[in-house]
Structure 1
Amino acid sequence: MLIEDDQSVREGLRLSLSRHGHEVATAETGEEGLRRLRETTMDIVVLDLMLPGLDGFEVCRRIRAGGHLPIVMLTARGDDLDVVSGLEAGADDYVVKPVRPRVLEARIRAVLRRWAAPLDAGQETYGDLVIDRGALTVAKNGIPLTLPPLELRLLLELSASPGQVFSRQQLLESVWDLDFLGDSRLVDACVQRLRTKIEDVPAQPRYVQTARGFGYRFGPL
């Protein structure tokens, strides 16, 4: 699903993505995009942030609240505020306009690979957190948590080596499947979302800890 209000951009991206083998549905407003998503099953959403009416940030939040669907956002600027706000709203990745179709297509495929990739089996207990790698579930104090695949993969990657510090670049490569295309803000935003779900006090994390100046590690140590 491509949600983009600029007709020339929308049609150009639709044609380009179609040539790469994607079946593309389009919408020119956030309201239309959400309606079509309720009516039809989609694999991924490419979402422009600057939409008339319901803007892309709110559309992103509503998609996230309603289910687990990967989102690549389009932003007219690479400004930190726009990018970070979009990632915090739940986007998995972003591309700055003007969009190079080959870059967008690569980002789409990378996001889809991450959401579909199998994960190692095994159940582990860390304090009040239970991670079942085989069932792909996480529970806290016996209560199941609902984690989108990207947040789950990040948690599984970090918890596979408790105490080890992972740089943002390492996490981009192992969790996001990105190297030179990556942006460390993807990691920071995902960590922030994950902490709100697994930590008692997100501002004082016990599990996903910051190694200042280096990256992140999994505790409790």
Structure 2
Amino acid sequence: MRVLLVEDDRDVADCVRRGLARHGHVVTWVSTGRTALAAPPADLVLLDLGLPDMDGLDVCRELRARGDVPLIMISGRDGETEKVVGLELGADDYLVKPFPVRELAARIRAVHRRSRDAGSPSQVACGRVTLDRRAHRVFLDGAEVPLARKEFALLAFLTERAGTLVSREHIMAAVWDANWFGPTKTLDVHVTALRNKFGDALTIECVRGVGFRLGPGPGHQDTFVPSRR
């Protein structure tokens, strides 16, 4: 896999490059945000937040505006706010320094697997909503509804289990990362975003202290039916 490493600390960069090379990855290292934005396309981006020329959050925002390249933030900032903001901006995972390269490699595999699965050809439909996994698009009454990467991944995950109560821990492990031990506030933020975008076309029921259950909106008896193209 071609990995773009955006890290201003040479020692950290050398350690990551050597470690990921042992796992079969080809790592391109850049030390500034502007260089990262000008770099050739990669299969995955490892992004430090403390860059010398611009904040890594701004780099993430710009990369997300350009496309859906898988992105893992690596940072010494371990506060809840930084993690939530990073994930809200579109990061697929957030790893706090210091960390073992073996864990980083595992998270890269997990993020890559989720990205690959999100591009599968299956479709899911419920009432007025249709989700196309292959095209990474969602439609309400035939009109496309723009979704952020994590919003799409969350909706896709819940539709596969429509009518089933899914725990917060299960959702966080599947949509964010199996090793995620941070706050689950970001899950509530994404659920709220989906509710706002789909209104009464979908029902995302919250069972306090347990998790969420997704179903069609009021008046619709349809169930989610997967299909292949």
Query: What TM-score do the two structures reach when normalised by structure 1?
Result: 0.82
Equivalent in the alignment of 1:106 = 106
Equivalent in the alignment of 2:45 = 45
Q: Which whole-Å deviations, capped at 9, do the CAs of 1:142-193 have from their partners, x for residues lacking one?
A: 2223446654332122123334221122123444561xx12354x6536634
Change in CA separation of 1:22 and 1:190 when aligned onto 2, cut-off 3 Å: farther
Equivalent in the alignment of 1:83 = 83
Equivalent in the alignment of 1:217 = 213
Change in CA separation of 1:77 and 1:134 when aligned onto 2, cut-off 3 Å: closer
Change in CA separation of 1:194 and 1:24 when aligned onto 2, cut-off 3 Å: farther
SS at the partner of 2:24? coil
Aligned: 1:30 with 2:33: yes
Change in CA separation of 1:143 and 1:194 when aligned onto 2, cut-off 3 Å: farther
- The answer (yes or no) to whether the contact 1:30–1:55 under 8 Å persists in 2 is yes
SS at the partner of 2:106? helix
Distance 2:172 2:194 in 1: 21
Distance 1:170 1:120 in 2: 24
Change in CA separation of 1:82 and 1:201 when aligned onto 2, cut-off 3 Å: same
SS at the partner of 1:90? coil
Q: When the two structures are aligned, how many residues end up with a matched partner?
A: 213
Q: Point out the structure with the larger strand share.
A: 2
Distance 2:173 2:12 in 1: 30
Equivalent in the alignment of 1:10 = 13
CA RMSD of aligned residues (A): 2.9
SS at the partner of 1:25? strand
Q: Name stretches of at least 5 consecutive residues in structure 2 with no aligned partner.
A: 219-229
Deviates more, 1:138-147 or 1:84-93: 138-147
Give the percent of matched residue pairs that are identical in Structure 1 and Structure 2. 36
Equivalent in the alignment of 1:140 = 140
Letter aligned with residue 196 of structure 1 = A
- The answer (yes or no) to whether the contact 1:4–1:51 under 8 Å persists in 2 is yes
Distance 2:75 2:138 in 1: 33
Change in CA separation of 1:211 and 1:119 when aligned onto 2, cut-off 3 Å: farther
Equivalent in the alignment of 2:223 = none
